[in-house]
Amino acid sequence: MDAQGLEVTGSPEAVALLDRAVGHLVRFQREVVEAVTGAVEADPGCALAGVLSAYLALMSTEASAVAEARRALAGIRTDPGALRPRERAHLAAAEVWVAGEMAAAGTLLRELTVEEPRDLLALAVGHQIDFFSGDAVSLRDRIGGALGAWTGDDPLLGFVQGMYAFGLEESNLYGLSGEVAARAVEAHPEDVWAIHAMVHTYEMQGRVPEGVRFLRAREANWTAGSFLVVHNSWHFALYLLEGGDVAGALDVYDRVLHHADSPDFALELLDASALLWRLHLDGVDVGDRWTPLTEAWGRVLTPGYYPFNDMHAVMAALGAHDLARARELVAALEVVVAGGDRATTGWRMSRDVGLPVCRSLVDFAAEDYQAVVDGLLPVRARLHEFGGSHAQRDVMERTLVEAALRLPRPELARALLSQRLGVREASSWAWGRLAGLRASGGDQTGAASAAARAGELAAAVVG
């Protein structure tokens, strides 16, 4: 039996180590690698240990990790026919993910969760697949459908609530998300995913000053060596930018997001790229930070495998003024779309969203702002289909607004900013852009009012 009362094939030592690994997994602790390796070594017949090892590789979103995942599955020393149905379902999910069908893996894990709602491994991995594929409904309902099987005195309930809170936030249920995230953080202060859900909630509500206070008060919890240190630091840097603290945001970049000792992890490189691109849109000179970043992307990227990464790699190349490299990446995506494996999730993402977005970024660098508008507007409502969160995809919303301002297409820029302020009035960035738009149209009174509101909001962040 595992910690959730489910039967597991494997020796007692291997099952105990597997439980420990799953505990580290939901805490995003790096020790998960050591624990799952120990479980595999203790008993290669513990199929779920081998599957978790494969999942860890695949969750890197890097094509180069697929070989590692294959080795992990090949190392399972148990006849699949002797496995329990739950274990066979996990093995099937890992196998289709290895084959490039990430969305299909998510579907299999969702079906498993209906049968075994206390399978924490299925919940945690399926939740990450929903995140990678931008499926907000499943991000919420996969966990919501299992919550009824978790009692209030279950020691791991808080981690399930933390996942649920993020799904609620991505479904725009911000009030409920904040309530659930608060309960999760109270239950487990070290739950960096619940902290992450609360940070998203504050951002999407425009409650940035509260978000800053929240992160500062819990700094010891979210900076303690988890896999989410870079990502939650990125969120903190975004908060600082809302306060106009460019120097503070760059300090976070240099200390945490990317520096000489940073590993080449795609999920961390995209945070670094996204922060610098926002600064680029604001006309901030970030010095020589772009070149090491685009070089790092060159070491890990396989275009078309996970197009959300491709977008950020193109940003890095353009930031480094390497237009040729950016165009090479777009050309590689065109090859994928024309002749790639249509059964894979990466192909569908590339065709529907990744390629148009990357083309639009290159058009932006070439100052063909009409092409940017023409490329982004048709896919704007579908950006979620190639992964990430509201906060992460917002970089393309900002790119579209900036293109409309530079064309200039004042009526389009006005509509986009109005839409944003309608759902997030407390956005210093949007008010600042609106102030410039009004000034360019000769409305000095309106410009002064918008500028004052932008300044008021920024001052509240850094005050």
Look at residue 208 and give its three-state secondary structure.
helix
Give the position of tokens 């509509």.
Answer: 415
pLDDT of residue 410: 97
Residue ending a domain, among 346, 375, 396, is: 396
Q: What pLDDT is recorded for position 437?
A: 98
Whether residues 297 and 276 share a domain: the answer is yes
The pLDDT tens digits of the residues spanning 66-103 come to 999 999 999 998 887 889 999 999 999 999 999 999 99
Domain check: are 88 and 4 in the same one?
yes
Residue 144 and residue 4 share a domain: yes
pTM of the model: 0.97
Tell me what percent of the residues of the chain surpass a pLDDT of 70: 100
225 confidence band (pLDDT: 50, 70, 90) = confident
In a domain, 403, yes or no: no
* Position 269 in a domain: yes
CA dihedral 24, 28, 33, 34 (to 10 degrees): -40
Residue 4 and residue 139 in one domain:
yes
Report yes or no: 261 and 241 within 8 Å, Cβ to Cβ. no
Are both 441 and 321 inside the same structural domain? no
For residue 312, pLDDT beyond 90: yes
- Tokens representing residue 39 in the block: 């479980």
Q: Are residues 264 and 367 in the same domain?
A: yes
Give the per-residue pLDDT at 164. 98
* Domain housing 131: 1-149
Instruction: Calculate the alpha carbon distances from 104 to 100, 233, 354 in Å.
Output: 9, 32, 19
**Treating both helix axes as pointing N-terminal to C-terminal, what angle do 323-339 and 355-365 enclose, rounded to 10 degrees?**
160
Q: Are residues 390 and 415 in the same domain?
A: no
Contact 433, 401 (CB under 8 A): yes
Q: Are residue 127 and residue 41 in the same domain, yes or no?
A: yes
pLDDT, one tens digit per residue, over 9-51 is 999 999 999 999 999 999 999 999 999 999 999 999 999 999 9
Going by pLDDT thresholds of 50, 70 and 90, the confidence category of residue 376 is very high
C-alpha–C-alpha distance, residues 18 and 86, integer Å: 15
For the cut 90, the answer to whether the pLDDT of residue 333 exceeds it is yes
Q: Per the domain annotation, does 219 fall within a domain?
A: no
Mean pLDDT of the chain: 97
Q: What pLDDT sits at residue 425?
A: 96
pLDDT digits (tens, 9 = 90+) for 160-214: 999 999 999 999 999 999 999 999 999 999 999 999 999 999 999 999 999 999 9
**Judgement on whether residues 439 and 317 belong to the same structural domain of the protein:** no
Answer whether residue 453 is part of any domain.
yes
Residue 217, in any domain of the structure: no
Tokens of 52: 């978790």
Do residue 138 and residue 8 come from a single domain?
Answer: yes
Query: Taking Cα atoms as reference points, which of 24, 392, 55 lies closest to residue 225?
Result: 24
* Domains identified in the chain, total number: 3
Residue 439 sits in a domain whose CATH number is: 1.25.40
Q: Is the domain of 388 the same as that of 436?
A: no
Enumerate residues 6+ apart whose C-beta is below 8 A from 174.
168, 201, 204, 205
Shared domain for 456 and 322, answered yes or no, is no
In a domain? residue 428: yes
- The answer as to whether 64 is a domain residue is yes
